[in-house]
Amino acid sequence: MALGACLILGVLYALGGRRPVRLLDAPRHWNGRQWRATAFFIALSLVGVGLSGPVDALARASMATRTAQLIALLMVVAPLLVLGAPEARFRRLLVGRPRPPRRPLAIPILAFLLFNGAVLLAYLPAVYRATAGPGWPRQLGQLTMVGLAFFFWSQVIAQPPAHCRLSHMGRVVYLFLSSAQLRVLGVILGFASAAFYPVPLVDQQIAAGILMVPGVLTDLVVLTVCLYLWLGQDDRRPRELGRRLGVQRSMTHG
């Protein structure tokens, strides 16, 4: 199921990015378009390999490895998919020349609730047991988590030509609250006196450590970038205001 979904998405992404054939070879150099495509296909490769039978069997061997697999999908694969900016390409296939979509403020809130709610749901003992074995319920759950993670990260990582609805400060708050939830979940699992799942307590504690440290690294990196851009934006405002006043004065004296 996962491999088939990756192949379909890869073909659609390539078709959506087609350009007219040129008779004369243009100078070849890497630009943003090539980097985005590379990020997208790396992410698809990671999904195909990470959810394949042998690798998934290793991931199911313990709660710690299963958590590591989930964190890799949510915090590495999903951001790479968003960096690939696939929405514009898919929209081009459906409606022709795409226009930057309008993103109401309710969309980031919905993405936040769905993603973080799904993470909590995945660690409910009943859901954990239902998706412990191989089969379509597990793969469907994994692909759903990747989809929700893509929805989540698309609110803080822009996909050209569209822009994020959230401001830089809004993205900082968005990511801070999400990483805080993962830390709280890790604390609950790590400091429990007994295992909540059919695994040894030490296995549950290692999984909690993965949630609390590697699980929030991507959040912290993107949060730091957004905070830097927000502070830089505040520093640029006085300069822009001074330039405008200077232009107005020159026009007045002229």
- The predicted pLDDT at position 191 comes to 94
- The predicted pLDDT at position 24 comes to 47
- The predicted pLDDT at position 23 comes to 42
Instruction: Classify residue 117: in a domain, yes or no.
Output: yes
Regions of the chain short of the pLDDT cut 70: 18-30, 96-103, 230, 233-254
- The predicted pLDDT at position 158 comes to 85
- The predicted pLDDT at position 175 comes to 87
Distance of CA 44 to the CA centre of its chain: 13
Instruction: Classify residue 24: in a domain, yes or no.
Output: no
- The predicted pLDDT at position 253 comes to 53
- The predicted pLDDT at position 241 comes to 45
CB 46 within 8 A of CB 142: no
* Pairs from 173-179 (Cβ < 8 Å, separation ≥ 24): 174/108, 174/112, 175/219, 175/220, 175/222, 175/223, 175/226, 176/219, 176/223, 177/112, 178/112, 178/115, 178/116, 178/152, 178/219, 179/216, 179/219, 179/220, 179/223
Inter-axis angle of helices 63-72 and 32-50, to 10 degrees? 160
Instruction: Classify residue 23: in a domain, yes or no.
Output: no
Instruction: Classify residue 205: in a domain, yes or no.
Output: yes
Instruction: Classify residue 218: in a domain, yes or no.
Output: yes
pLDDT digits (tens, 9 = 90+) for 39-94: 999 999 999 898 888 899 999 999 999 999 999 999 999 999 999 989 888 888 87
Instruction: Classify residue 21: in a domain, yes or no.
Output: no
Task: Please give the residue range of the domain that contains residue 217.
Answer: 2-16+29-253
- The predicted pLDDT at position 225 comes to 78
Q: How many domains does the chain have?
A: 1
